[in-house]
Amino acid sequence: MSIDLDTARRVAKLARIEVAEDALPALADEFNTILGFIEQLNEVDITGVEPMTSVTPMRLKRRDDGVTDGDRQAEVLSNAPDAREGFFAVPKVVE
């Protein structure tokens, strides 16, 4: 499987990373090198093998569904690049 410019452009878009048009060919080449390396996995017989979901079998712990934290608006916002009136501020989303 080889990655063409359209696929590279689409992946960059999905990942929300701006990539200049003239940087796409090099990017596609790098993807192809890495994917070529990954292709080796096709040699492995995986019939009847379940995908590994957890490293050690353990039951997830449960706790009461109660409020244990909160009231930290100032701390939550303290690192925001733009916070106004107790909210995160972003460019206009709805016209």
Partner 1 sequence: MSALSKLTIAEARDRLRAGEVSAVELTEACLAEIDGARALNAFVHDTPEIARAQAEAADARIAAGDAPAMCGIPVGIKDLFCTQGVPSQAGSKILEGFRPEYESTVTRQLFEAGAVMLGKLNMDEFAMGSSNETSTYGNAVSPWRRGNDATPLTPGGSSGGSAAAVAADLCLAATGTDTGGSIRQPAAFVGITGLKPTYGRCSRWGIVAFASSLDQAGPMTKSVRDAAIMLQAMAGHDPKDSTSADLLLPDFEAALTGDVRGKKIGIPREYRMDGMPEEIETLWARGAEMLRDAGAEIVDISLPHTKYALPAYYVIAPAEASSNLARYDGVRYGRRARLAQGDGVTEMYEKTRAEGFGHEVQRRVMIGTYVLSAGFYDAYYNRARRVRALIKRDFERAFADGVEAILTPATPSAAFGLGEITDADPVQMYLNDVFTVTVNLAGLPGISVPAGIDAQGLPLGLQLIGRPWDEADLLNTAYALEGAAGFVSKPAKWW
Footprint on this chain of partner 1 (rule: CB under 8 A): 3, 7, 11-12, 14-19, 27, 30-31, 33-35, 37-44, 46, 49-56, 58, 60-61, 63, 72, 75-76, 78-82, 88, 90-93
CA distance 20 to 9: 9
**Smallest gap from residue 25 Cβ to partner 1 (A):** 13
**Smallest gap from residue 66 Cβ to partner 1 (A):** 14
Distances (CA, A) of 81 to 15, 71, 77, 89, 93: 21, 21, 9, 8, 17
- Please, are residues 32 and 52 in contact by the beta-carbon 8 Å criterion? no
C-beta of 42 vs 86, nearer to partner 1: 42
